[in-house]
Amino acid sequence: MSTTTVSSQLASRMGVLGTETAFEVFAKAKALEAQGKNIVHLHIGAPDFNTPPNIVAAGEKALRDGWHKYTPANGLPDLREAVCEDILRYRGAEVNPDNVLIVPGGKPTMFYAIMMFGEPGAEIMYPNPGFPIYESMIHWSGAKAVPIELKEENDFSFDADSVLSKITPNTRLMIVNTPANPTGGIVQRSEMDKLVAGLEKHPHVTILCDEIYSRQLYDGAEHVSILQYPSLADRAIMLDGWSKTYAMTGWRLGYGVWPDSLIKHAERLQINSTSCANAVTQVAAIEALRGPQDSVDEMLKAFDERRHVMHRELNAIPGISCVMPKGAFYAFPNITGTGRKSQDLENGLLNEAGVACLSGTAFGAMGEGYLRFSYANSVEQIQEGLRRVKEYLA
């Protein structure tokens, strides 16, 4: 009888596929809670609010109205129209609905883009620290992952000249994320202008801009969208979705705006993987975009209050310092003053202090020296969590 195991038969690329540690920390925290421990959850990448009732009602109605079948692979025409109206309203950019691909969540757009361009010999640039799936997928595709370093001294934005200097003839895709996970940093218009001007000299590079936190901006900051740059119209992909803006992470819906030359390839990847996004969710998403936006404003107001609490309380802990996040709902404090490594501190805080947060290294090697705290939790929970952190470090 053969002793070959199934796991030894796996494609070698499975060995380089990374993960999103947030899901692992979530599982560990739940296991500790099952043992009776009290855990403060400051690791979560989802708004803690429920989906606004008008959207839920639209979803319920869609179920009753019989939206039970496949939709066109690229999404319902009315939803793609609504996406274009939304882009015009919030980004001031005109987009043709034929360039919109509705997908099940924010992730598929990055998955399709990286699959489309990544292969051995190719290079893909990505933010580091950044959303972990970029680096994971680049490795999986066989391409070389070239980090765009985001530094605290630059307010976690990038330096356009330094980014441009890393482009080689093998660079195929560059990923930008603003507002950013995990740092809460945003890209300023002047820096994006410089990057785009520089990219004009590199017509072989496509840019994917992950703008999933575009509505979570504070202090009147403007959202700089890649769609606002006509010179890149033939090679810019814009990723957004409903998860963060409308507290719809579990509904699984997102979209990509793709240039003419790429949209058919993206649609083909969709047909090969998921066929189409959930029909009921798509109908509810039309209500999200066209319905009242008060709930979005209210959630943002709550996030802003918590942002101030988190920033203030983190900076009151000896050994920790934190720049003010400008977008999303994360703080990325520098913990080097504690003398601890990030992963070690994440473990200690979870197991000994009952606080779930994420090591900066969950977002790439350049996250060493940082932790990510999410403020998608109540002011009381944030205060209690950071009280525990302070006590633990003392």
Give the nearest distance from C-beta 106 to ligand PLP in angstroms. 3
User: 71, 177, 278, 281: which one contacts ligand PLP (CB under 6 A)?
Assistant: 177
Which residue number, 107 or 388, has a Cβ lying nearer to ligand PLP? 107
From 3-11, 28-36, 53-61, 101-109, span contacting ligand PLP (CB under 6 A): 101-109
Question: To which residue do tokens 């977008």 refer?
Answer: 327
Which residue number, 90 or 392, has a Cβ lying nearer to ligand PLP? 90
- The Cα-based distances of 4 to 11, 15, 300 in angstroms read 14, 18, 54
Quick one: which of 132, 141, 136, 133 has its CA closest to 114?
141
Verify binding: residue 210, ligand PLP, rule CB under 6 A: yes
Which residue number, 91 or 107, has a Cβ lying nearer to ligand PLP? 107
User: 47, 52, 59, 106: which one contacts ligand PLP (CB under 6 A)?
Assistant: 106
Q: Which helix (H) or strand (E) holds 28?
A: helix 21-34
What residues form DSSP beta bridges with 238?
Answer: 209, 257
Give the nearest distance from C-beta 102 to ligand PLP in angstroms. 12
| CB of 226 closer than 8 Å to CB of 236 | yes
Verify binding: residue 127, ligand PLP, rule CB under 6 A: no
User: 71, 178, 181, 293: which one contacts ligand PLP (CB under 6 A)?
Assistant: 181
How would you list the strands of the sheet with 254-257, edge to edge? Answer: 100-103, 254-257, 236-241, 206-210, 171-177, 123-128, 144-149
Q: Tell me how many residues contact ligand PLP (CB under 6 A).
A: 13
From 70-78, 104-112, 342-350, 356-364, span contacting ligand PLP (CB under 6 A): 104-112
CA distance 105 to 97: 18
Verify binding: residue 212, ligand PLP, rule CB under 6 A: yes
Verify binding: residue 241, ligand PLP, rule CB under 6 A: yes
| CB of 353 closer than 8 Å to CB of 392 | yes
User: 51, 183, 249, 282: which one contacts ligand PLP (CB under 6 A)?
Assistant: 249
Give the nearest distance from C-beta 296 to ligand PLP in angstroms. 16
CA distance 180 to 330: 9
Verify binding: residue 214, ligand PLP, rule CB under 6 A: no
Verify binding: residue 105, ligand PLP, rule CB under 6 A: yes
CA angle 363, 369, 371 (to 5 degrees): 55
Give the nearest distance from C-beta 179 to ligand PLP in angstroms. 9
User: 74, 183, 243, 293: which one contacts ligand PLP (CB under 6 A)?
Assistant: 243
From 103-111, 260-268, 281-289, 368-376, span contacting ligand PLP (CB under 6 A): 103-111
Which residue number, 51 or 243, has a Cβ lying nearer to ligand PLP? 243
Give one DSSP letter per residue of 136-177, joined into a string. Answer: HHHHHHTPEEEEEE--GGGTT---HHHHHHT--TTEEEEEEE
Give the nearest distance from C-beta 206 to ligand PLP in angstroms. 17
From 25-33, 50-58, 105-113, 227-235, span contacting ligand PLP (CB under 6 A): 105-113
The number of residues making up the chain comes to: 394
- Could you tell me the two tokens for 62? 């869609």
**Which residues from 128-147 bind ligand PLP, rule CB under 6 A?**
131
Cα torsion angle, 317, 318, 319, 322, sign: positive
Which residue number, 55 or 317, has a Cβ lying nearer to ligand PLP? 55
Characterize 249-266 residue by residue with b for buried, 16 or more Cβ atoms within 10 angstroms of its Cβ, and e for exposed. Answer: bebbbbbbbbbeebbeeb
* Binding residues vs ligand PLP (CB under 6 A): 45, 105-107, 131, 177, 181, 210, 212, 241, 243, 249, 254
